[in-house]
Amino acid sequence: MLAKFLAEGDVVVLSGAGISTESGIPDYRGPSGALRRHTPMTYQTFTGDPAARRRYWARSHAGWRTMAGARPNSGHHAVARLQRHGLLSGVVTQNVDGLHQAGGATGVIELHGSLHRVVCLDCGDATSREELDHRLRQANPRFGALVTAVNPDGDVELPQEEIEAFRPVGCRACGGGVLKPDVVFFGETVPPGRVAACFALVERARLLLVLGSSLTVMSGRRFVLRAAKLGIPVAIVNQGPTRGDDYADLTVDAPLGVVLSQTAALMAAAP
């Protein structure tokens, strides 16, 4: 059924954390979601509390090795195959892991940014996460936290004594400015230009395909609401119900890797 919905092309994909769970990155709100054990960092806490920033960077530094080692799964590869077949007119992701691009997708709009980039809140200088990782390793040569599970935002739980011993680093460009991952924290606003670009894609689409998002927060759900308002069909593939189901013309409750791989194979075999 999903293949029939996609057959005429002009599809915009909106993906969420559920597409990356098969790569070992948990989602927030699924059956084993991270929100059941973890409260994400907010922008207000990060910018206003130096101790909170130390905690964030210690935990994120430990988790980065897992995030950097994550590999795209069959769902990411299937999205890239659909794009190569000319069926997709755009890919928007709420994820910050970069796995769509690693799986071969191009022109991806990262709605919430990327953990692979770091920005200075004082001077605006942007650097790679790899460079920051090298600097943090130099500043913390004895840091060797044992990682058992990483959260969707890339951090892990750590003992308080390891957090207190951790030494963050500042911006090299301006001599010590506050560094922040180039992601939209909870409580922070997505850049208006990025939102406008996503709306423009959706408004030109023939179909909006939601992959692995519960659509619980308005950040993603607004695009479903806009599509429904304009009479653009919506298809949702997710494990479990979503807050967009009432607006969907098709819902598929199944593992994304399986469904998307089968769909991409059918589309490739179509005349």
Binding-site residues from annotation for NAD(+):
94-97, 212-214, 238-240, 256
Q: In what order do the strands lie in the sheet with 126-128?
A: 126-128, 113-120, 179-183
Report the largest interatomic distance among the alpha carbons of the chain, rounded to a whole angstrom: 62
Question: Which H or E run includes 244?
Answer: none
Distance (Å, whole) CA 44 – CA 17: 23
Binding-site residues from annotation:
94-97, 120, 123, 171, 174, 212-214, 238-240, 256
Q: Tell if the pTM clears 0.75, that is, is over it.
A: yes
Find the length of the chain. 271
What residue ranges do the domains of the chain occupy?
2-269
- Per-residue pLDDT of 156-167, as tens digits, reads 778 888 899 999
- Per-residue pLDDT of 42-82, as tens digits, reads 999 999 999 999 999 998 998 888 888 899 999 999 999 99
Fold classification of 2-269 is Rossmann fold (3.40.50)
pLDDT digit string (tens) for the chain, length 271 residues: 899 999 999 999 999 999 999 998 877 544 444 444 457 789 999 999 999 999 999 989 988 888 888 999 999 999 999 999 999 999 999 999 999 999 999 999 999 999 999 999 999 999 999 999 999 999 999 887 655 556 666 567 788 888 999 999 999 999 999 999 999 998 899 999 999 999 999 999 999 999 999 999 999 999 999 999 999 999 999 999 999 999 999 999 999 999 999 999 999 887 6
Binding-site residues from annotation for Zn(2+):
120, 123, 171, 174
Catalytically annotated residue among 61, 77, 112, 116: 112
For the question of residue 112 being annotated catalytic, the response is yes
